[in-house]
Each structure stands twice: as structure tokens, then as C-alpha cells.
Amino acid sequence: MSRHDHTIWGCCTGAGHCVGTITQPLRVHRTLANWFAEDCDGILPLSKTVLPLLANAPSILAEDDDHAWELAYRVFIDPAAAFGGDQNEAEELAYRRIEVRS
């Protein structure tokens, strides 16, 4: 009897949220090609539903400035707006937590 890796199965069925490993700081990739180019270090979100969960990461590494802004909006600002939170406070939190890779 074989063991099943549910993270891989979730990617095949479309039920997976992301692929990769949680690292410190959390490297978030925009595309599969970028994730492969970085030797699969960090995560590649497969679903937008995983993005608000990234707010729990102490530090997030984005690919570039545009990616950092996209993550700030999807991880911090939009969820705050959806639940009546302070968007300015969410933006400040995003600035403290998201860095751009050098």
C-alpha cells in the first residue's frame, strides 16, 4: 500500500492552496518558473484564498516592488477593508512585514 502526499494531490485536483516550503523569511513567488529558478525555495500560491493567511508570517520576501505592492494589498489591506478594519494600519503592517529581494 502506498502513502499519499496530500499536498501534491491538492495541486492535481485544484484544491491545493500553495506549493513549497514555509521558510523564514517567507519567500513568495509569482510564477512557477520563478519558483523553479529559486530551487523551489519558499512558496508559490496556487489560490488567492491562501494570501490572507500569509499575514501570519513574520516577514515576507517579494520578487520586486510591484509584487510587494500586490502582496500588501492582497495579504493585508484588502482583508482589513473586507472586515471593517483600519486600512491605514494594515498598510503600515504590510510595509513592516514585506521586503523586496535584492
pLDDT tens per residue across span 25-81: 999 999 999 999 999 999 999 888 899 999 999 999 999 999 999 999 999 999 999
Mean pLDDT of 5-15: 55
The domain tally of the chain equals 1
Per DSSP, the chain holds a count of helices (H) and strands (E) of 5, 5
Q: Determine the pLDDT at residue 22.
A: 87
The span from the CA of 20 to the CA of 4, in Å, is 17
- Is residue 82 one of the residues assigned to a domain? yes
In degrees and rounded to multiples of 5, residue 99 shows phi and psi of -120, 160
In degrees and rounded to multiples of 5, residue 38 shows phi and psi of -95, 25
* Residues 8, 10, 11, 17, CA torsion sign: negative
> For residue 43, what are the domain limits?
6-100
In degrees and rounded to multiples of 5, residue 37 shows phi and psi of -60, -25
| pTM, full prediction | 0.82
In degrees and rounded to multiples of 5, residue 11 shows phi and psi of -70, -35
- Is residue 79 one of the residues assigned to a domain? yes
- Is residue 87 one of the residues assigned to a domain? yes
